[in-house]
Structure 1
Amino acid sequence: MLNSIGVPPFRADGDAADAVAMLVGEEEDPTGLLAALGVQVPPLTPAGRTVAGRAIWVGEVETGYPAADAWERVRGVYSRTGLWPVLIEERTLEGLENFDPDDRGIELAEPDGRAWLERAWAQVVTEGVDSIPRSPRVLTAADLDHDGFGWADAWAVLDDDTEYLALVPAPQPWLVPHLLNWWGACNYDLDGSDHAAMLRRWAGHWGAELMGMGLGTIALRVGNPPQNDEEALAVSLERFLYCSDQVHQGVGTLDELKPHAAAPLWWFWWD
């Protein structure tokens, strides 16, 4: 059944958006710049530095819809600030505590999501393709009908732990897990470069944008999710290779993941 979606090869990554310039000084509170652009944010305080050495600013937000609204406002002016908003928990930034400042200035190589998937698939083949649970579940019209229940509604249902809106100086949104030295999937030997590769790939193909990061979770707002069963199955496989817990400890089979792949919010967690 897996061969029906053409594995391997995986299709090439989509084109990534151009990098955005940093328009805020390294030590400058961005509140004034955002206000000049018509965006109000909660009081901000510095919360450490990215692996590139630039200041991260955070402000407290209320969970659910208020957090989603705050994210959307700041995201709307990203191209004019260079600050990418991420909704985070208290411990999301802990990976920065273990980052060696002497490593600052080392640039991440251009991420290649297809190459990452090919390596992950090779491991599956070694273990046996039957290790991926399957079922007859087919994507339905009802799965694609999100009228009246968009990404912010899904976020409000899932969001129990958001405490802060973080403003991360980032030339590309998909670089944020790398810039924060995020360690939430370290038990699967994933690091910031792995997350950057997959987020860049999904940004190019599906308009996926990082919006939330917890202790072991990542949330993506997806502008153009899959619209048919074949696409949803292909994305489900990519999601499984990236985060198998959503099947093994979640929906149970690759095919039951299809409705989630076709949704406007993608949620990943690693136990």
Structure 2
Amino acid sequence: MAAMLGLARHSVAGAAAGGPQDEMLERMRAAFPYPIATVPGQRALAEWQKLSRRGGGWPIIISGDEALERVLEQYSIDDRSVFPMPTNPDLPPFPAPRTPQEILTAAERIEVGAELQRLFDHEYGEDPFELEKGEWPQPHEIGSMGLSVDKDILTGAYLDKVHLCVLPTEDSADAAAYLRWGNWNACPPPEVHVAVHRKWHAEYGAQVVGMSGDVIGMRVTRRPASRGEALALAQEQYLYCSDIVLQGTETLEPLAAGLMESDWWYFWWD
């Protein structure tokens, strides 16, 4: 696939040879089995569209160098050939990293609503956690939403360079399984991302376009048709990624209104 796409298996961008940190980055890159392309940020979405039309795998926009390093780390963090750990003869050996197929199989057993509520209760406690009711914003009060991983989060300017990888699947919902993405802090484990994204693809045509170290960007083909539907979806997204409300919209109403106004969804975990 790398030859077909003209993608080089290069070392992590910006890493100079010689130090322990650089050696670790080289090991992470060597363990990452998917081809990577690097393009100017303003061309990232166009390149993604070209690769997705071509077929032969699902493209993911990763963002810049720091995001690439975090994606590589998440992929290989449990790989003891990349991150050696001292052995203890009195303890069982560390398990091998799960394969994408093992993660995808685990996703098939997940009931999304119950699992999201369980994870939310685990993070915040089982006492009732109710958001205040907010005001429904006016259309001009809703900021425009689009792809974010191709831009500087502070200035909104396009990044000088953005990395993309191509995963060996045609289903964007599989992306978290192939990247072993998640399972840190309040971010769900990979199989939950897969199950949620499968549900949203069936209901809204949602597809994963970007995945940086802590952000997922999705694009949909159908928006919620009513305020009630949008609020129910916003509640589900809040359980999935509470930071978009608690550190963002503060109430569900602005999130729900945005879901009715935009084809882009944004999720972020700290």
**TM-score using structure 2 length:** 0.70
State the shift of 1:102 in Å: 6.0
- Tell me which moved more, 85-94 or 157-166: 157-166
- Aligned residue among 9, 20, 30 for 2:4: 30
In structure 1, how many angstroms separate the alpha carbons of the residues matched to 2:215 and 2:109?
Answer: 19
Distance (whole Å) between structure 1 residues aligned to residue 127 and residue 186 of structure 2: 16
In structure 2, do the counterparts of structure 1 residues 244 and 103 end up closer, same or farther at CA, with 3 Å as the change threshold?
closer
Of residues 158-167 and 214-223 in structure 1, the stretch that sits farther from structure 2 once superposed is 158-167
Instruction: Output one character per residue of 1:76-122: Cα deviation in whole Å (capped at 9) or x when no partner.
Output: 132xx1x1100003222221221345644752226359723223335
8 Å Cα contact 1:87-1:211 kept in structure 2: yes
- Read off the aligned partner of 2:107 and give its amino acid letter: P
Q: 1:245 aligns with which of 243, 246, 249?
A: 243
Is the counterpart of residue 202 in structure 1 residue 166 in structure 2? no
Pair 157,189 (structure 1): closer, same or farther in 2 beyond 3 Å: closer
Q: Corresponding residue for 1:18? A: none
Query: 1:90 corresponds to which residue?
Result: 68
What residue in structure 2 maps to residue 16 of structure 1? none
State TM-score, norm by structure 1: 0.69
Distance 1:188 1:256 in 2: 22
The CA distance in 2 between the partners of 1:251 and 1:111, in whole Å, is 29
Task: Tell me which residue corresponds to 2:8.
Answer: 44
Q: Please, which of 151, 154, 162 is the counterpart of residue 159 of structure 1?
A: 151
Number of residue pairs aligned between Structure 1 and Structure 2: 218
Give 1:120's match in structure 2, choosing from 112, 116, 123.
116
Alignment of 1:176-191 (within 5 A): 176-183=175-182, 186-188=184-186, 190-191=188-189
Q: Percent identity?
A: 24
Shift of 1:125: 9.2
Mapping for residues 96-107 of structure 1, pairs under 5 Å: 96-100=75-79, 103-104=98-99, 107=102
Cα gap change, 1:49 to 1:220, in 2 (>3 Å)? farther
Q: Please say if 1:67 is aligned against 2:44.
A: yes
Q: Give the aligned residue type for 1:58.
A: I
Structure 1: how far apart are the matches of 2:192 and 2:243?
16
Q: Which of 63, 68, 77 lines up with 2:54 in the alignment?
A: 77
Aligned-pair CA distance for 1:221: 1.1
Aligned to 1:6: none
Amino acid at match of 1:169: P
5+ residue gaps, structure 1, are: 1-23, 33-42
- Does the Cα contact within 8 Å between 1:56 and 1:167 map onto a contact in 2? yes
- The 3 A distance-change label for structure 1 pair 230 and 214 is same
The structure whose Rg is larger is: 2
Q: Deviations over 1:200-236 (max 9, x none)?
A: 1111100111010111100001111212211111110
User: Aligned-pair distance for 1:29?
Assistant: 2.2
Matched, 1:235 2:233: yes
User: What secondary structure does 1:56 align onto?
Assistant: coil
In 2 relative to 1, CA 251–158 (structure 1 residues): closer, same or farther, beyond 3 Å?
Answer: farther
Per-residue deviation, 1:182:
1.3
* 1:26-54 Cα shifts (integer Å, max 9, x gaps): xx52326xxxxxxxxxx43265556xxxx
Q: Is contact 1:87-1:164 (8 Å) kept?
A: yes
Which segments of structure 1 move beyond 4 Å, counting only runs of 4 or more? 46-50, 140-144
SS at match of 2:147: helix
SS at match of 1:215: coil
Separation in 1 of the partners of 2:265 and 2:174? Answer: 18
User: Structure 2: which 5+ runs fail to align?
Assistant: 11-28, 80-95, 153-158
